[in-house]
Structure 1
């Protein structure tokens, strides 16, 4: 540290002490005869200034030694703990503010650790989803291969065989698209765009994504959604609705029905998607959105990753919309997507 830099850092103290000396001089000069006290005042000023300069000199030298110790620690790759020990052992060479610096670094380290843990969790989630998706795609490809071989041996392929092949291809397309969405979900802060959108049109697009699954099982859809405009991210809303419909198609028997309706109240607009499928056991209802949870239905009736609804809920929370489920086993399952009005949304954010 140079003397010029030191003076710039300590200018407040230097200015305050100079002001004190000037104030004392003014008091002395105005309260005593000038002829008798001028020499004594000058002598007093000399002593005070000399003491102040000496104090600043020793403080400057101590700071230089402390900064030299910090540079040594950085050069040798030492950590903060070593610097604290050295400062404690060197009574006349301790680093000013070392304790506060250590607390600040610990606070910063905790912040980095939280971000690292969150990033690691998201990467683990993505890895689990990709692993399961690749496994499911291999199953779909194996089925496609068997169907193609059967077609090669048939002079006139049956309609049912072609339908099975088309169904497996649509399954693969859906899983690939959902995997792309999941990959984006782990970087959602960079992939969200608020826009004025028509919820009714988004629902129609989500139905189109799942059309082949519905046709294969002859599931009818009663869409009673009227045009309703709101501001949100269109592609993520479509992802959530498409995931719910895909989930319903899995657990609804052939010739089943899915009913889609909307309801507006003082809190916001609520999108209801209800099927007459096998329903969810009461003890499992609270775990539908848990990571990797497939439930007894997923284990027994279909190949389920347990990740689709987990990511749907995750993105709903990110967008600030509600996603809830209610069900009666053997009767129905209903998902409710709630788009809150601004005042109610702000109250939910504060609570």
Structure 2
């Protein structure tokens, strides 16, 4: 129907000219007494039917050619194909122009893809190069005798390490399907390792952890799960007050899926910020007050979680803290995710 309306709108000049001819003929029939013997209605109906059939033929012919052209948009219209379409000279010029534009845009797109891949590879190589001196610095910190100085240096090292880690996983995000392996893993060692890695920051702020037994095993990729937990924990530590506590526990939802909860008693998230906290570079109301906030942690965690079948949800209110929940896929959901 939309094609027909567009066709009629494009041929409005034809229709207007036809109506003009009909009106002129009717005026001649009325003014010329020599035409009184000819039925004016017979002429009008004949012309109307003829013109309608002509429009129908043009509509079927032209729309059919257009669909054929659009269906072959990805391939060049060679001479034989163009001959099969029976293009008019004007249509041939238009189609050639469209082809030239498409070819130019495809070349630009391919060039941009190559440049983006080269940049991504260079950035990934740079991140790996940076990780080596970071590891060395971390080992050297153990030899700093001044305990207070060591704590400050460890805290700054941790901030730098987290930023480099974010950049590394941001670069890998586009190709995560090629870099994940889903299997059965235990939650406890993953969560405890991330807590230990953030120890310097927690000691500085006096933040403790109340961790459930975490006996559950889940189907996921352990490396990417560790990254998700790391982002949520670092976010909880960042916005928690000094000498507070972060609670980590698990439960099963009504469907039998495992839920991992990470709860803090920090400043909380305003209601208007909740729908946008997983958007790229969105720092929110609290983030604008902190120069440390990049708005990338939760964005990366959410996108990684989606790609490996984990659902992240959050409950929060200002002044009462936040509760982040990771829902792990069931066995049948895992099968759909892996396509097996």
* Common fold: TM-score over 0.5: yes
Question: What does 1:3-82 correspond to in 2, within 5 Å?
Answer: 79-80=76-77
- Who is 1:257 aligned against? 245
Question: What does 1:113-262 correspond to in 2, within 5 Å?
Answer: 159-262=147-250
Question: What does 1:279-298 correspond to in 2, within 5 Å?
Answer: 279-298=268-287
Stretches of structure 2 that go unaligned for 5 or more consecutive residues are 1-74, 89-98, 138-143
Q: CA deviation at 1:173?
A: 1.7
Do 2:309 and 2:337's aligned partners in 1 also have CA atoms closer than 8 Å? no
Do 2:180 and 2:221's aligned partners in 1 also have CA atoms closer than 8 Å? yes
Q: CA deviation at 1:347?
A: 9.5
Distance 1:346 1:319, change over 3 A: same
Q: Distance in 1 between matches of 2:218 and 2:260?
A: 12
Is 2:271 the partner of 1:277?
A: no
- Who is 1:266 aligned against? 254
Do 1:225 and 1:260's aligned partners in 2 also have CA atoms closer than 8 Å? no
Do 1:201 and 1:227's aligned partners in 2 also have CA atoms closer than 8 Å? no
TM-score by length of 1: 0.56
Bigger CA radius of gyration = 1
Q: Distance in 2 between matches of 1:249 and 1:83?
A: 68
Do 1:174 and 1:209's aligned partners in 2 also have CA atoms closer than 8 Å? no
TM-score by length of 2: 0.58
Instruction: Name the SS of the counterpart of 2:215 in structure 1.
Output: coil
Q: Distance in 2 between matches of 1:338 and 1:207?
A: 20
Q: CA deviation at 1:203?
A: 0.8
Number of residue pairs the alignment of both structures matches = 232
CA RMSD of aligned residues (A): 4.2
What stretches of structure 1 move > 3 A for 4+ residues in a row? 81-91, 156-162, 343-349
- Who is 1:332 aligned against? 321
Instruction: Name the SS of the counterpart of 1:261 in structure 2.
Output: strand
Deviations 1:158-184 (A, max 9, x none): 644442222111211222223222222
Q: CA deviation at 1:346?
A: 7.7
Q: Distance in 2 between matches of 1:307 and 1:275?
A: 20
Q: Distance in 2 between matches of 1:334 and 1:287?
A: 16
Q: CA deviation at 1:85?
A: 4.3
Distance 1:90 1:231, change over 3 A: closer
- Who is 2:21 aligned against? none
Q: Distance in 1 between matches of 2:314 and 2:79?
A: 55
Instruction: Name the SS of the counterpart of 2:328 in structure 1.
Output: strand
Deviations 1:272-309 (A, max 9, x none): 10000000001101111111110010110342111111
Q: Distance in 1 between matches of 2:199 and 2:149?
A: 18
Instruction: Name the SS of the counterpart of 1:249 in structure 2.
Output: helix
Distance 1:86 1:297, change over 3 A: same
